[in-house]
Structures are given as C-alpha cells and as structure tokens.
C-alpha cells in the first residue's frame, strides 16, 4: 500500500462530516428520540448477541462485548449514521468450526486479522464495488434476510434450558406446547399490536420500546411464567479487558487463521455495505462505503484485542433504529453505552424482560424488511430478474448472505452478457463505388465475438469491404481478436477492409498487423480497458 493511497484516503476522511448531527443542531425532542431509539436497539441486541455467542461456541459475554465495541466504534466513525453493528449470525456460523478445532484464542487472533483486511479494503476503496450488486439481488437479499430473522426468532419458542448448539443456530430443544405456548404467542401478538398502534397515537415515544416496556410490565406485575432473557444466560459482567490473543506467532498459526479471516472479512463487508445501501435508501443518504469498510475493520481489530467475537452491520437492529426515529450517530452510541450499562449495572433487571416482547419487535422488523412489492414485481420484470430475486432469497436462507450475493451477481452478469451477445447484428448495403458496408449494431465483447465473425461472408463479398462501428462499442480483447480474425479472412482472399468509427486506440493496435486500412476521420475517442497486440497476442495494461 503506497503513501499516496494512504494520504488520499486520509483526505477523503477529513472531508467527511463526522459530527454527531449533519447540521449541528440538536433539539430536546430530537435528542430524546435518538436516546430512546438507542435504548430500544440495546434491548433487542441482548438476546441476539447471547444467541450468536452460543452459535459460535463461546461465552455469552464474548458476544456482548463484541456488540458493545463494534457498535460503539462504527457509530462514531461509520459511513452511515443510523446503522447498527454488532455480533451477527452470518459470522458466527463461520466461527464455530474454528473455535471447535482450535479454541477461542485463535478466534480473537482471527478477528484482529479480519479487521486489518477490512481496513485495507476501505483504504483501497474496494467498497465501491458494492455498486455492481443489481437491484434484483438487493431484493433477494432483503427478502432472504427477513426470512432468516424470522426463523431465528422461532428458537425462542423452545423450552429454556433444552436448546442446543447445532452449529447453524440454536436447535434440537423441545418446543413449547399447551398454555406456555399460547401465552407466549399472546404476548408476541400484544407487542406487535402495540408497535402498530403506538405511532397512530403518539410519536413522542418509540413504538418498539413502548411494546417492550408495556409487555414486560404486565409479565413482571402478574408474575407470568414465560421465558425471559435471563433464561438464555446471565449477562452480568465487568468492563472488557485488553487481552493479546494467546496464540503462537508462527507461520502455522497464520495458515490456520488466514482463510477464516478472509471469509469473515468478506461476509462482514458484504452484509455491512448492503445494509448501508438499504439504510441509505430509507434516509436519503448516499456514499460512505469506503469509510464504512475502515470503521468495520477498526472495530474488529479493537474487538479482537478486548475479548470480543467480532461483528458487522445488523440489518434487523438497523431497521429498528431507523423506524424508531434514529437518524444520527447519537442513537448508535447510545445503544452501545446502554448495552454496556446492562452488562455492568442492570443485568438483573434486563434478565427479567420476557423474550416474547423482543420476538414481537423482531417480527415487526421482518414485516417491515420484507419487500412485499416483490410479489408484484416478479410478474412484471424479465424472467431472469425474477429468477435472480428468488435464487438470492433461497440461497440466503439455506446457505449464507455472502454466497447468495456472489451467486446473484454472477447469474445477473451472465444473463446480461447473454442478452447483449444476442444483440450483435449488422445492416448491410452497397455503395455506388461497389464497396459493401457492414453497419455493426450492438456491443462487441467476448460474448458476442463469435456472432460478429458469423456476420461476414468473405467468399461472396466484393473486393472492398467497410465495417462501420458507429452503432457499436468495442469492449475487450476478445472483440479485438474477432476484428483481426475477420480482417485476416478478407486479406487471405486478397480483399481490402476499411474500419470506420473505431476508436483510435483500437485501430492503432490493429494497424500493427499491417493488413488493415483504417478510416479515422470521424472515429470516436474512447479508451479500451486492455492493450492487445494482434501480432503477439500479448495482453497488457493500457
């Protein structure tokens, strides 16, 4: 990494507005909304962090410390105010194998290396590649994630103390039945009803927090026997302590942790950047991808040194925050500080909160996150886009987010290439002088190069042939090779070829072959991404 790259990144960060508020103004009502939104998020973070710690096979405090540290740092310097980060299930399911085979100390070292890789990605501005994710993939992503959030809440309908770590979530326990099940469902429904009604009565208090407070108050007041946060695990603890991962500094250690670090860094950045885009659409904000990469990386490096399991953006909690009115960095900071205060001072009180209230909040997140209009869209969009939406949704549910996004992008890219490959054709006419003119239509690239070659008939064409690229665009090395192949066929038959409206870059390279006549009076002036020597076939930078 060059000094110029580091200096450029530092300048970009300096230009970013990192204040708590975009306009510098804070009214008492806005401050109250931000703090109460943060409190709501913190309450929802507790069972999630504990559950994900169980999934990864580590102590619950490892998950809670990660939620606090990652949430605080990303709230302070992240690319999108309003986003919430913490320990996530997408990362936990990757960590479980590492912890099982090598222990938690290797996990801490892996998280540190993961963070360093994410910082590098941010400095190199690799976050901008999230723009390549098509809209159908985004729809599939939010739909799949909504289903995953919903399925994750079903584990709360199991008898406390019977849940087991299956490596893919909490499972294997006994389901609630009879009166306990009906009571749990009633409390979930009551929480959802309060969240739905509250905004119609007043917006002075976040609806999710009102739902949690009212339902928790009823349960505590009447002593209802329902599963509570404390049934998962005790969240009582102290401040996170600085801790160097106790692993040998050897090549063998690097070979163990590097593959996990790369996978975790990729999954964390993909989920974070997609959440950044989603929150941006809701709040009307843009940009910040590279800054978010650095923030996530910094948070994970610090987390690894303070006994946390690492994390990334959490779409569920981010949706809770945004829908509760959280729009600035204060909400995220408040959520992290509330979470720490729960660990230090308020564990007995928080452990009394019924899980049904938190499940109700998350079910409302599911309803708000799922793109219900996609059912209408599926009937209107091209079949390929509809297939991508369904495919990404299914892969997200049954595999993981990173695989789903990669698969969706690949399928979308292949579909785009195939559609453009079929567009290549030519309008043909003969000039008064007897030259045959091929007016090429459509982009010329690797997918359409074979079709381009098939447009011509060197045996039957006259002695002079003009290939006009005014309505085409030469894209890559395969296109240059196709042009050379066509010209070679005409040359072998003693015929003359003229290329028109071809970029100067292209015909300068092709002219090196010595058998092409190029008319460059009205050629466009756009560049190619590659430099291809038609004599040697060597591909180089251009």
Tens digits of per-residue pLDDT, 231-274?
A: 888 899 999 999 999 999 999 999 999 999 998 998 899 889 98
Instruction: Say whether pLDDT at 14 is over 50.
Output: no
Q: How far is CA 359 from the centre of its chain?
A: 24
Backbone phi, psi, residue 388, to 5°: -65, -40
Q: Please give the residue that has the higher pLDDT: either 200 or 173.
A: 200
Where does 292-332 show beta strands of DSSP type E?
A: 312-313
Examine the pLDDT at 168 and tell me if it is beyond 90: no
Domain ranges of the chain: 34-158+173-372, 380-420, 423-540
Q: Which pLDDT band holds residue 166 (cuts at 50, 70, 90)?
A: very low
Taking the domain 423-540, which CATH number applies? 3.30.750.24
So what's the pLDDT on residue 386? 93
Q: In this structure, are residues 85 and 311 in contact, taking their beta carbons and an 8 Å threshold?
A: yes
Number of Cβ within 10 Å of residue 162's Cβ equals 10
pLDDT in tens, 399-443: 877 788 889 999 998 988 888 778 888 999 999 888 999 999 988
Tokens 């300096």 correspond to what residue? Answer: 14
| Mean pLDDT, residues 150-171 | 65
Confidence of residue 505 (pLDDT cuts 50, 70, 90): low
pTM: 0.75
Residue 532 three-state SS: strand
The residues near 60 (Cβ < 8 Å, ≥ 6 apart) are 49, 50, 53, 54, 232, 233, 234, 235
């Amino acid at each position: 990494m060059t000094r110029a790259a580091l200096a450029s990144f530092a300048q970009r960060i300096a230009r970013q507005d990192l204040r708590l508020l975009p306009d510098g103004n804070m009214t008492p009502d806005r401050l109250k909304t931000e703090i109460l939104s943060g409190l709501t998020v913190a309450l929802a973070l507790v069972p999630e962090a504990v559950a994900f710690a169980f999934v990864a096979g580590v102590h619950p405090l490892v998950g809670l410390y990660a939620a606090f540290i990652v949430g605080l740092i990303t709230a302070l310097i992240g690319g999108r105010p309003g986003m919430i980060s913490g320990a996530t299930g997408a990362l936990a399911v990757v960590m479980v194998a590492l912890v099982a085979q090598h222990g938690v100390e290797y996990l801490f070292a892996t998280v540190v290396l993961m963070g360093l890789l994410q910082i590098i990605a941010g400095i190199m501005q690799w976050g901008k590649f999230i723009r390549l994710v098509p809209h159908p993939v985004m729809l599939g992503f939010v739909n799949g994630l909504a289903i995953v959030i919903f399925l994750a809440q079903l584990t709360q309908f199991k008898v406390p103390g019977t849940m087991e770590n299956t490596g893919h979530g909490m499972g294997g326990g006994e389901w609630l039945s009879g009166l306990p099940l009906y009571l749990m469902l009633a409390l979930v429904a009551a929480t959802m009803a309060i969240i739905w009604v509250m905004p119609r009565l007043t917006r002075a208090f976040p609806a999710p927090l009102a739902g949690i407070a009212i339902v928790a108050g009823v349960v505590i007041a009447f002593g209802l026997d329902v599963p509570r946060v404390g049934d998962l695990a005790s969240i009582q603890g102290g401040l996170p302590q600085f801790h160097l991962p106790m692993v040998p500094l050897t090549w063998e250690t690097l070979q163990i942790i590097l593959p996990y670090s790369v996978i975790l860094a990729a999954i964390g950045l993909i989920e974070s950047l997609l959440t950044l885009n989603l929150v941006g659409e809701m709040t009307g904000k843009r940009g910040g991808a590279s800054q978010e990469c650095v923030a996530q990386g910094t948070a994970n490096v610090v987390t690894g040194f303070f006994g946390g399991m690492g994390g990334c953006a959490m779409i569920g909690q981010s949706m809770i925050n945004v829908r509760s009115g959280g729009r600035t960095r204060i909400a995220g900071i408040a959520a992290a500080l509330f979470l720490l205060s729960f660990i230090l001072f308020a564990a007995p009180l928080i452990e009394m909160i019924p899980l049904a209230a938190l499940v109700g909040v998350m079910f409302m997140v599911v309803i708000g996150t799922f793109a219900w209009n996609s059912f209408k869209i599926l009937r209107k969009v091209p079949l390929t886009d509809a297939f991508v939406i369904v495919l990404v949704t299914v892969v997200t549910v049954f595999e993981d987010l990173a695989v789903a996004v990669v698969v969706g992008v690949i399928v979308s890219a292949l579909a785009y290439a195939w559609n453009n490959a079929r567009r290549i054709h030519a309008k043909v006419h003969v000039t008064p002088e007897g030259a045959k003119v091929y007016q090429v239509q459509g982009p010329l690239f690797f997918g359409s190069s074979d079709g381009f070659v098939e447009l011509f008939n060197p045996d039957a064409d006259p002695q002079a042939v003009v290939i006009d690229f005014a309505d085409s665009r030469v894209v890559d090395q395969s296109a240059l090779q196709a042009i050379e192949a066509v010209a070679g066929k005409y040359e072998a038959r003693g015929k003359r070829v003229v290329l028109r409206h071809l970029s100067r870059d292209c015909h300068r390279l092709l002219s090196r072959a010595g058998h092409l006549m190029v008319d460059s009076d009205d050629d466009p002036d756009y560049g190619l991404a590659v430099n291809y020597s038609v004599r040697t076939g060597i591909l180089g930078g251009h």
